[in-house]
């Protein structure tokens, strides 16, 4: 009998599927013709499967909303972007690059600030103003000075319901620490992996989805692709939500918001409605994307 479920774990050619209706866990294998068709099921895939015997078989992978290569995972709804205030210092350029990548993958980003307790009150207040700019740009932001306080963690967990969530951010920002505060099992897996890597052994990273706060959370600290290779100059302006808000009022359709006359985005920038750091990063990324095109 054909059933529908979601892959929550893959291990050595077996796929653990949670059934949509019964919520039971079924171990399955992919049909042989998947390999011939060069199709590989991913954690997060919605699949139709047959579970008549002890072992189920995946019959078909349902259309994906999105997928990532690192980590190999599909149908992600939201990404928690863990950003440190200090050690390493806050970088709007890096944060914006990650946000652009997430928007490009049709994933909802959430910004989570860590290590603000290392800042002076004055520096923290300056950074809060910047974070307010991200809120006004349309992002959900968690920026309490005490990053892992229970109230903030509860509010973060409320965003997990009915979603598949991954974590990302610069190395050293505290992704594993945050995962640890959310669920010890997630953090422990990360710590063990680091120890194995530090001993110089090569290890394959298996991604699993854990059920937390009525949602599914990937046990991996984020995806590592932070170049802009797949983004075109035409797409880039659409990946800044605050540009999208005003671009309909620009004189030209497909306005790049650089030298065009009567550009509403530049008018709003001049009036302080758009953060200068975001616009500067946009120009920087546009330049980077154009330089890729020249190179190839």
Q: How far apart are CA 226 and CA 136, in angstroms?
A: 24
117 is in an annotated binding site: yes
263 is in an annotated binding site: yes
172 is in an annotated binding site: yes
173 is in an annotated binding site: yes
Element (H, E) at 213: none
116 is in an annotated binding site: yes
Are 210 and 184 contacting, i.e. CB atoms less than 8 angstroms apart? no
Tell me the two tokens of residue 189. Answer: 């897996």
215 is in an annotated binding site: no
Beta-strand relationship, 164-169 and 215-218: parallel
175 is in an annotated binding site: yes
Instruction: Report the greatest alpha carbon distance in the chain.
Output: 67
225 is in an annotated binding site: no
257 is in an annotated binding site: yes
Q: Where are the beta strands (DSSP E) in 75-187?
A: 78-84, 108-114, 140-142, 164-169
176 is in an annotated binding site: yes
The partner residues of 208 in beta bridges, in order of sequence, read 9
83 is in an annotated binding site: no
115 is in an annotated binding site: yes
Q: How far apart are CA 171 and CA 221, in angstroms?
A: 9
Q: What DSSP string runs through 241-272?
A: HHHHHHHTTSSSTT--SSS-TT-HHHHHHHTT
Question: Residues with Cβ < 8 Å from 274, sequence gap 6 or more?
Answer: 137, 242, 243, 246, 265, 268
168 is in an annotated binding site: no
Question: Residues with Cβ < 8 Å from 273, sequence gap 6 or more?
Answer: 136, 242
Cα Rg of the chain, angstroms: 21
Q: Is 70 helix (H, G, I), strand (E, B) or coil?
A: coil
224 is in an annotated binding site: no
Give the distance from CA 53 to its chain's centroid. Answer: 37
137 is in an annotated binding site: no
Q: How far apart are CA 27 and CA 17, in angstroms?
A: 6
Q: Which residues are annotated as a binding site for Zn(2+)?
A: 250, 255, 257, 263
Binding residue numbers: 114-117, 169-177, 250, 255, 257, 263
| Binding residue numbers for GTP | 114-117, 169-177
């Amino acid at each position: 009998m054909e059933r529908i479920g979601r892959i929550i774990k893959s291990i050595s050619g077996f796929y653990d599927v949670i059934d949509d209706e019964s919520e039971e866990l079924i171990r399955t294998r992919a049909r042989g013709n998947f390999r011939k068709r060069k199709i590989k099921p991913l954690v997060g895939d919605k699949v139709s499967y047959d579970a008549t015997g002890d072992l189920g078989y995946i019959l078909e992978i349902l259309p994906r909303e999105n997928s990532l290569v690192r980590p190999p995972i599909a149908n992600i709804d939201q990404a928690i972007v863990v950003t440190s205030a200090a050690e390493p210092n806050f970088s709007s350029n890096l944060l914006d690059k990650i946000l652009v990548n997430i928007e490009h993958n049709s994933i909802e980003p959430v910004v989570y600030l860590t290590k603000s307790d290392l800042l002076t009150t004055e520096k923290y207040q300056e950074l809060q103003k910047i974070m307010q700019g991200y809120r006004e740009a349309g992002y959900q932001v968690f920026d309490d000075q005490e990053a892992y306080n229970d109230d903030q963690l509860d509010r973060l967990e409320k965003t997990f319901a009915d979603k598949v969530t991954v974590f990302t951010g610069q190395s050293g920002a505290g992704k594993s620490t945050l995962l640890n505060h959310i669920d010890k099992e997630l953090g422990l897996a990360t710590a063990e992996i680091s120890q194995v890597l530090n001993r110089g052994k090569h290890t394959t990273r298996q991604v699993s989805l854990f059920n937390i706060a009525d949602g599914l959370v990937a046990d991996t600290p984020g995806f590592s692709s932070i170049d802009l290779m797949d983004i075109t100059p035409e797409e880039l302006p659409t990946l800044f939500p605050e540009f999208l808000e005003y671009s309909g009022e620009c004189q030209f359709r497909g306005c790049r918001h650089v030298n065009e006359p009567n550009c509403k985005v530049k008018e709003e920038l001049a009036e302080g409605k758009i953060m200068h750091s975001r616009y500067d990063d946009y120009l920087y990324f546009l330049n980077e994307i154009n330089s890729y095109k020249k190179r190839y």
